[in-house]
Amino acid sequence: MPNRAIIIGTGSALPSRLLTNRDLEAMVETSDEWIKTRTGIEQRYIVGEGETNSFLATRAAKNALEMAGVRPQELDLIIVGTLTPDTPMPSVACLVQKELGAKKAGAFDLSATCSGFIYGLSIADKFIRDNRKMKILVIGSEVLSRRVNWTDRTTCVLFGDGAGAAVVTGTKEDRGILSTHLHADGALGDLLTIKGLGTAHPVTMEMLELGWQYIQMQGREVFKHAVKALESVAWEALNANGWTTDQVDLLIAHQANMRILDFLREKLGLTTDKVFINIHKYGNTSAASIPIALDEANRSRLLLPGSKLLMVAFGGGFTWGSLAMRW
Ligand code: COA
């Protein structure tokens, strides 16, 4: 048997402030009804005083390490998928490494938006295929509330903050990560973007007046591309492993919109119990959405030894990808 990467612990963390659709009604011209029917979202959590991306990421990491029975000093690598780091430098991964005291670990952030966790797991998988003794912490963590224009109803109702983590190591057994497929299309990047605050458009009065410090999205266009890409990458994973859809025990897809999840379920012919949903509780948490869902599915024993798990993600860039594994 070749080396295979397995997940031996999962964890998640949410910030302290609950923001319901009713709360948003008092902030912008919207309604609980509109948000629920168009997106499935009922509430989301956002950071309060003293809560940062690395704070959430560290909490999620500690939960995952505890479940795995792995000490921070045993970690070889920390990968954090995020588009909302505390600072450009140091990376969130380095801040987590410091907080955990993971002295031996290399650490880096990965920029693949909502696909960050899948991209991160696929990198971990490659390391572990070479050396199954390695222990790698993969995190998706976001503070999108600091990149949202709270006066723009077309975006501010969609996003939330949070973090999720997984401890990955290797086995010789016939289980674990079976395939990963990564894709991108930079030509469509303008449909979902934060134009400012990078080095191309640093902070100037003009940039701030244009609102380029905020997430800007052409929702309908993004929706169309998301459903197509998610469906095609799901089939790619199924075909690569010779799986039929009725063999899938659980689909964890990026939680961006309930209508996207329903569309995907119908296209793949899956029953509702096979599609994990938590978007109503957390909104779209970008790179954190899949690892939070994975942790919830794992802790509620929806994943049992041998379960066939398919994960699919799509996000700004555009980026998208899939991962198939036997739990
Ligand atoms: N409350 C009330 N009305 C709103 C609103 C809100 N929060 N946001 C937009 N509207 C209005 C629009 O102004 C528009 O009004 P008009 O018809 O008078 O012009 C109407 O609702 C419909 O807007 P539209 O943008 O066409 O709605 P939609 O059905 O496409 O839903 C999204 C909008 C954003 C929920 C949807 O497009 C979506 O989920 N897109 C994909 C998002 C995504 O997945 N992003 C992340 C990928 S990682």
Q: What CATH number does the domain located at 4-174 have? A: 3.40.47.10
Q: Which amino acid is at 49?
A: E
Work out the angle at residue 141's Cα, subtended by the Cα atoms of residues 132 and 137, and round it to the nearest 5 degrees: 15
Q: What is the CATH number of domain 178-326?
A: 3.40.47.10
User: Measured between alpha carbons, how far is residue 115 from residues 33, 193, 315, 319 in Å?
Assistant: 29, 15, 6, 6
- Check if 222 has its Cβ closer than 6 Å to any atom of ligand 1: yes
Tell me, using a 6 A CB cutoff, whether residue 226 lines ligand 1.
yes
Instruction: Report pLDDT for 1.
Output: 87
Question: Is 21 designated active site?
Answer: no
CA of 25 to the centre of ligand 1 (A): 15
Q: Which of 114, 156, 181, 298 is catalytic?
A: 114
Residue 116 and residue 55 in contact, taking contact as beta carbons nearer than 8 Å: no
**Cα 39 to averaged position of ligand 1 atoms, centre (Å):** 9
> Is the shortest distance between the CB of 264 and ligand 1 below 6 Å?
no
Which pLDDT tens digits describe the chain residue by residue (327 residues)? 899 999 999 999 999 999 999 999 999 999 999 999 999 999 999 999 999 999 999 999 999 999 999 999 999 999 999 999 999 999 999 999 999 999 999 999 999 999 999 999 999 999 999 999 999 999 999 999 999 999 999 999 999 999 999 999 999 999 999 999 999 999 999 999 999 999 999 899 999 999 999 999 999 999 999 999 999 999 999 999 999 999 999 999 999 999 999 999 999 999 999 999 999 999 999 999 999 999 999 999 999 999 999 999 999 999 999 999 999
Q: Comparing C-alpha atoms, which of 254, 251, 274 is closest to residue 324? A: 251
CA dihedral 215→166→298→269, nearest 10 degrees, is 60
* Structure token digits, residue 3: 């080396």
The closest of 10, 40, 6, 34 to 265, measured between CA atoms, is 40
**Per the residue annotation, which of 3, 63, 284, 298 is the catalytic one?**
284
| Predicted model pTM | 0.97
Q: Residues for the chain: how many in total?
A: 327
Q: How far is the CA of 316 from the centre of ligand 1 (A)?
A: 17
Q: Which of 53, 254, 257, 298 is the catalytic position?
A: 254
Ligand 1 site-directed mutation target among 223, 261, 262, 264, most atoms within 8 Å of CB:
223
Please report the atom of ligand 1 found closest to the CA of residue 153.
Answer: 7
Task: Report residue 33: phi and psi, to 5°.
Answer: -60, -50
Q: How far is the CA of 256 from the centre of ligand 1 (A)?
A: 12
| CATH 3.40.47.10 domain locations along the chain | 4-174, 178-326
Give catalytic status of residue 94 as yes or no: no
